[in-house]
Amino acid sequence: MARKEKRTRVLLCKPPLDMHSRGILVIARALRDAGMEVVYLEASPNVGPGEIIETALQEGVDLIGVSILSGSPVIILSRLIAVRDQKGLTDVPVIAGGIIPQEEVDELKKVGVAATFTPGTYMEDIVKTIHQLIGGK
């Protein structure tokens, strides 16, 4: 019997009140086309860091991707990473994409964001980065 290879599972989400979904849906499609399983958590006022990390735990994801189009990426992502670490998911990288001011990219790395992507990034580069970050999971 042939052994079935585990597919990469990615959780894509948006912070609360960030309702612009076109970009994240394009990314979701590109990741699916690249053979990944995508869990999409829609933005709502009730979806905060705790709910995002709980979903990551329940779904057994390899990576969390957050799309941010409205301010405060450092605050939002530092809270998310703190909850991730408290729940013992330190081996699950967090990446971010969207409208992220260039001066905040270095700060995001300091709080633990593994990679950031801004508008115009090639889909192939996002897929390649995900594969590098999860290293054969």
Model pLDDT for residues 53-98, shown as the tens digit of each residue: 999 999 999 999 999 887 788 998 999 999 999 999 999 999 999 8
Backbone angles phi, psi at 11, to 5 degrees: -95, 120
Return the pLDDT at 21: 78
Asked if residue 3 has pLDDT above 50, the reply is no
**Which pTM was predicted?**
0.91
User: In the structure, what pLDDT confidence band is assigned to residue 102 with cuts at 50, 70 and 90?
Assistant: confident
Return the pLDDT at 1: 46
Contact 84, 53 (CB under 8 A): yes
Asked if residue 4 has pLDDT above 90, the reply is no
Give CA–CA dist 32/90, Å, rounded: 24
Place of tokens 């594969």: 131
Asked if residue 111 has pLDDT above 50, the reply is yes
Task: Mention every residue, 6+ apart, whose C-beta is less than 8 A from residue 46.
Answer: 16
Q: Which domains can be identified in the chain, with CATH numbers?
A: 9-131 (3.40.50.280)
Return the closest-CA partner of residue 95 out of 120, 72, 54, 62.
62
Higher pLDDT, 110 or 2: 110
CA distances in angstroms from 16 to 5, 71, 96, 114, listed in the order given: 34, 12, 15, 21
